[in-house]
Amino acid sequence: MGITQQVKFGNTGLKISPIIVGCMSYGSKDWHPWIIEDKNEVFKILKTAYDSGLRTFDTADGYSNGQSEILLGEFLKEYEIPRETVIIMTKVWAPVDSSLEGFQRTGPMNEDQKVHFANQQGLSRKHIIEACKNSVRRLGTYIDVYQIHRADQDTPMEETMRALNDVVQQGLTRYIGASSMLGTEFAEYQFIAEKNGWSKFVNMQDCYNLLYREEEREMIPYIKKHGIAQTPWSPLQRGLLSRPVEVSSYREDNDRVLKGRRLNQYEDFEIEIINRVEQVAVKKGITMAEVATAWLLSKGTFPILGLNSVQRVKEAIKALDVTLTEEECKYLEEPYRPKALIQ
């Protein structure tokens, strides 16, 4: 199997790997019990990905309170990875505080934290510029694509877009992007940037997979019209599309979102979709994860995969060679029903 070639990223001149390595799984178990915190294990996974041609890495300052960014930066330094051979994407919005040892906010803030983090979260000019500099410090290098993790209802959009333009002008990041929000919000951010001659978003990192396709209503038509790249997070819906419905995983048993969600809590159409993914996988002699990933690749997206083992890296690479027929895609999509928005 040859090295994975890099491909054009939306309407930019940037070339990235067709599958993005998601670094949310690397950091501290204090944040989530399923996180991989052994540096050697993380480095082995990342080196396998890099050597295979998966050289685009997505992280966020909020992942493990900055530890994910630190590990990625240490990996690049440890293996003397030429900076020009990798693409680094990270995000801003969540509270991060290195002065509070062991701080891991996985629930609502208490009153003291609300005061302490009043200006250390969100998308204000103050926070964006400080957070971007801190991400660069943790990574030990500049950022290629700096993304807002969510929209911020407390900050004027003009303030956010001007600050993002400034971090581009300062050389801290090369491009900017955005993550889950309403299509109307995303379009308004873009309009403000265009009106003022500022940098515009080059990608939308949204939740999109066979079990969640609400983005097809407004967001996807908009970004396709404007040549904006789509980089879906949770392409396997937190692993639910990678195994039969009756099988759980360590993450499902310990993740605060997934914990307690079992077979009798799924909608009938969701169970049917998972069953169909399994059927297609068996027919083609591949894994369910390969089927779900191949479906996203067929849509022209750049899925962000959380790779928690060397085997998962190899599985991701195999998905690049999977071709789903039009009939197979229709079969996988047919049971879907509308559901509540994820923002």
* 328 Cβ contact list (under 8 Å, min separation 6): 280
CATH 1.10.238.10 is the classification of domain 7-334: no
Identify the pLDDT of residue 108: 78
How is 35-98 classified by DSSP, letter by letter?
Answer: -B--HHHHHHHHHHHHHHT--EEE--TTGGGGHHHHHHHHHHHHTT--GGG-EEEEEE-S---T
**Boundaries of every domain in the chain:** 7-334
- Distances in Å between the Cα of 250 and the Cα atoms of 33, 88, 273 are 9, 28, 22
Question: What is the DSSP code string of 278-294?
Answer: HHHHHHHTS-HHHHHHH
Q: Sorting pLDDT into bands at 50, 70 and 90, what band is 98? A: low
What does the pLDDT read at residue 249? Answer: 63
d(CA 143, CA 149): 15
pLDDT average, residue stretch 53-58: 99
Report the pLDDT value the prediction gives residue 102, as an integer from 0 to 100: 46
Whole-structure pTM value:
0.94
In angstroms, the CA 89 to CA 91 distance is: 7
Active site residues: 63
**Percentage of the residues of the chain whose pLDDT score is greater than 70:** 92
Tens of pLDDT, residues 284-315:
999 999 999 999 999 999 999 999 999 999 99
Confidence of residue 112 (pLDDT cuts 50, 70, 90): confident
Specify the pLDDT at position 48.
98
User: Averaged over 244-261, what is the pLDDT?
Assistant: 64
Sequence-distant (6+) residues with CB within 8 A of 67 are 26, 27, 28, 31, 37
How far apart are the C-alpha atoms of 110 and 214, rounded to whole Å?
33
Structure tokens at 213: 């396709």
What DSSP string runs through 230-273? E--B-TTTTTGGGS-TT---HHHHH-TTTTT--GGGS-HHHHHH
Please give the Cα distance from 70 to 44 (Å, whole number): 16
What's the confidence (pLDDT) of residue 100? 47
